[in-house]
């Protein structure tokens, strides 16, 4: 192991065998002439990211020259500074100190001074310094918990941008500047020609498209189909609005309310159109099978995430905490090893298993299998109009997935605690009382299984439990 100076650059070696077991890193820039304070830190995890080199308190960018440190190594050779090949430090090293703990950013700035405090200062000063270090560590730990957000800013000068002929990167055409297409309303005169100006233009009253698209997607979320069926395309290639006046009115009201989503949803959900019965008569099935004329209320299967969340909520398992990091609920063992190139997946425990599906950890190419079964798309492309199928796998998922098995168990416990278990199950899951025939069927199931868990599983498998109607 060693710290070297090669062609003016600092180089760090952690090597047991040069051919296949070691690591070599060096600073991207050479040291400027003169005296410097150099600090090297290493977290011992055998990764290049664990090394940090500081020169006069400033962290240096490192280049990885060799990275084959695959397991812990112990070398009988001492740690050398300036030995070996290459230029030496010419014996001009004033002092050397080694710490067995992590250094604070203050210590990195003036390591020699803090080394003197640690080794030679009076006991009272060392004691006070330890208290200060602990206080600084507590402060740093607290600051690390404060959420951060990435902020973009424009470069000082415009980058030259060209229209690429036939899309070829090596065939630039006419030079262009930031603007909107000429066929659309132009940016206001006082708007900056950057992302902020574009954002203001998108939500300006002169551009009704943003409000129309937003309203149409919320309508699809509620009714299953948008006022414009092609929610991904409201342009000339998309479908003409089924109720253009309604779409325009909702869009204008949405803008005038200050883009108030709660008001928009309340307006739609409290309308006579939404509050109709969703019963499909033979006449309506013949004249309007897709319910585009809205002569009846919506009847559509819930989204995959909503199906899971409803089961957790009815069973009392749902953790209704807002915000926080992603969680990892149960997934089949070995799935990630197969699809993620050997990457492991360790399910959470406790509350992490029962949070809303919104917080589920996902990778671009790996969706939770239970979500895929209910037609959830992968994250490889943006999809705003999901398909809905009806397959036997969906029923098998509701019967056998560990999440739904646990939900059935807990829902059964809630039912058993009530004086009328069947009615309690219907109210918790379906928000209504059971019909006499339904009660008889479930009581017969209870008499057969002698447990409310299978009965709760039957309720979770009802078409009504996974359908909004």
Do 30 and 97 lie in one domain? The reply is yes
Do 80 and 49 lie in one domain? The reply is yes
* Contacts with 217 (C-beta within 8 Å, 6 or more apart), sequence order: 226, 231, 384
**Residue 118 confidence (pLDDT) above 90:** no
pTM of the model: 0.66
Do 222 and 337 lie in one domain? The reply is no
**Residue 111 confidence (pLDDT) above 60:** no
Q: pLDDT tens across 382-393, in order?
A: 888 888 888 899
Q: What is the mean pLDDT of residues 233-252?
A: 90
Residue 266 forms part of a structural domain: yes
CB-based contact 234:212 (threshold 8 Å) = yes
325 alpha carbon, distance to own chain's centre? 8
Mean pLDDT is lowest, of 44-53, 290-299, 301-310, 432-441, for: 44-53
Do 353 and 409 lie in one domain? The reply is yes
Do 31 and 137 lie in one domain? The reply is yes
CB-based contact 311:460 (threshold 8 Å) = yes
Do 309 and 225 lie in one domain? The reply is no
Nearest-5° angle of CA 119, CA 123, CA 129? Answer: 75
Residue 155 forms part of a structural domain: no
The pLDDT assigned to 123 comes to 81
Do 182 and 241 lie in one domain? The reply is no
Q: Work out the mean pLDDT of the chain and round it to a whole number.
A: 85
Residue 356 forms part of a structural domain: yes
Do 65 and 94 lie in one domain? The reply is yes
Q: What is the mean pLDDT of residues 162-166?
A: 92
- Look at residues 113, 144, 175 and tell me which one is the last residue of a structural domain: 144
The pLDDT assigned to 404 comes to 93
Residue 294 forms part of a structural domain: no
- Look at residues 202, 233, 251 and tell me which one is the last residue of a structural domain: 202
The pLDDT assigned to 309 comes to 94
Do 347 and 464 lie in one domain? The reply is yes
Domain extent, residue 238, equals: 209-287
Residue 213 forms part of a structural domain: yes
Question: What is the number of domains present in the chain?
Answer: 4
pLDDT band at 182; cut points 50, 70, 90: confident
Do 97 and 213 lie in one domain? The reply is no
- Measured CA to CA, the distance from residue 456 to residue 448 in angstroms comes to 14
- Measured CA to CA, the distance from residue 293 to residue 305 in angstroms comes to 28
pLDDT: which is higher, 125 or 354? 354
Do 190 and 262 lie in one domain? The reply is no
- Measured CA to CA, the distance from residue 313 to residue 456 in angstroms comes to 13
The pLDDT assigned to 255 comes to 94
Residue 292 forms part of a structural domain: no
- Look at residues 182, 202, 222 and tell me which one is the last residue of a structural domain: 202
Do 262 and 355 lie in one domain? The reply is no
Residue 153 forms part of a structural domain: no
H/E/C letters for each residue in the chain?
A: CEEEEECCEEEEEEEEECCCEEEEEEECCCCCCCCCCEEEEECCCCCHHHEEEEECCEECCEEEEEECCCCCCCCCCCCEECCCCCECCCCCCCCCCCCCCCCCHHHHHCHHHHHHHHHHCCHHHHHHHHHHHHHHHHHHHHHHCCCCCCCCCCCCCCCCEEEEHHHCCCCEEEEECCCCCCCCCCCCCCCCCCHHHHHHHHCCCCCCHHHHHHHHHHHHHHHCCCCCCCCCCCCCCCCCCCCHHHHHHHHHHHHHCCCCHHHHHHHHHCCCCCCCCCCCCHHHHHHCCCCCCCCCCCCEECCHHHHHHHHHHHHCCCECCCCCCCECCCCCCCHHHHHCCCCCCCCCCHHHHCECHHHECCECCECCHHHHHCCCCCCCCCCCCCCCCCCHHHHHHHHHCHHHHHHHHHHHHHHHCCCCHHHHHHHHHHCCCCCHHHHHHHHHHHHHHCCHHHHHHHHHCCHHHHEEC
**Residue 301 confidence (pLDDT) above 60:** yes
**Residue 252 confidence (pLDDT) above 90:** yes
Residue 381 forms part of a structural domain: yes
């Amino acid at each position: 192991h060693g710290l070297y100076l090669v062609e003016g650059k600092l180089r760090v070696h952690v090597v047991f065998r040069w051919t296949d077991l070691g690591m070599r890193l060096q600073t991207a820039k050479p040291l400027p002439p003169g005296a410097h304070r150099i600090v090297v830190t290493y977290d011992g995890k055998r990764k290049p990211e664990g090394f940090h080199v500081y020169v006069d308190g400033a962290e240096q960018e490192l280049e990885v020259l060799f990275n084959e440190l695959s397991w812990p190594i112990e070398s009988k050779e001492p740690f050398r500074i300036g030995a070996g090949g290459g230029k030496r430090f010419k014996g001009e090293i004033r002092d050397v100190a080694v710490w067995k703990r992590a250094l604070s950013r203050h210590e990195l700035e003036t390591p020699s001074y803090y080394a003197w405090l640690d080794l030679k200062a009076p006991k009272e000063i060392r004691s006070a310094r330890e208290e200060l270090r602990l206080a600084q560590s507590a402060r740093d730990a607290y600051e690390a918990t404060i959420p951060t957000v990435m902020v973009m800013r424009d470069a000082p000068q415009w980058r030259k941008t060209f229209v690429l002929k036939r899309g070829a990167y090596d065939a630039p055409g006419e030079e262009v500047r930031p603007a909107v297409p000429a066929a659309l309303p132009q940016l206001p005169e006082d708007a900056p020609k950057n992302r902020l100006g574009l954002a203001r233009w998108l939500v300006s009253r002169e551009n009704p498209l943003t409000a129309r698209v937003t309203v149409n997607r919320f309508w699809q979320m509620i009714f299953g189909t948008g006022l414009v069926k092609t929610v991904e395309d409201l342009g000339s290639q998309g479908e003409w609005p089924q109720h253009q006046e309604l779409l325009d009115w909702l869009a204008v009201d949405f803008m005038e309310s200050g883009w108030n989503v709660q008001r928009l949803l309340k307006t739609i959900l409290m309308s006579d159109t939404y509050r109709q019965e969703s019963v499909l008569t033979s006449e309506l099935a013949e004249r309007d099978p897709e319910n585009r004329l809205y002569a009846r209320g919506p009847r559509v299967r819930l989204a995959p995430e909503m199906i899971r969340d409803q089961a957790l909520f009815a069973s009392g398992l749902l953790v209704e905490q807002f915000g926080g990091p992603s969680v990892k609920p149960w997934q089949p063992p070995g799935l990630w090893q197969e699809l993620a190139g050997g990457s492991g997946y360790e399910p959470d425990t406790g509350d992490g298993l029962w949070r809303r599906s919104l917080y589920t950890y996902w990778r671009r190419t790996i969706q939770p299998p239970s979500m895929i079964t209910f037609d959830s798309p992968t994250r490889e492309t943006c999809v705003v109009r999901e398909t809905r199928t009806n397959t036997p796998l969906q029923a098998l998922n509701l019967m056998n997935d560990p999440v739904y098995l646990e939900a059935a168990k807990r829902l059964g416990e809630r039912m058993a605690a009530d004086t009328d278990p069947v009615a309690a199950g219907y109210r918790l899951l379906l928000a209504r009382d059971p019909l006499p025939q339904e009660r008889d069927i479930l009581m017969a199931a209870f008499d057969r299984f002698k447990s409310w868990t299978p009965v709760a599983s039957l309720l979770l498998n009802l078409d009504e439990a996974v359908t909004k109607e």
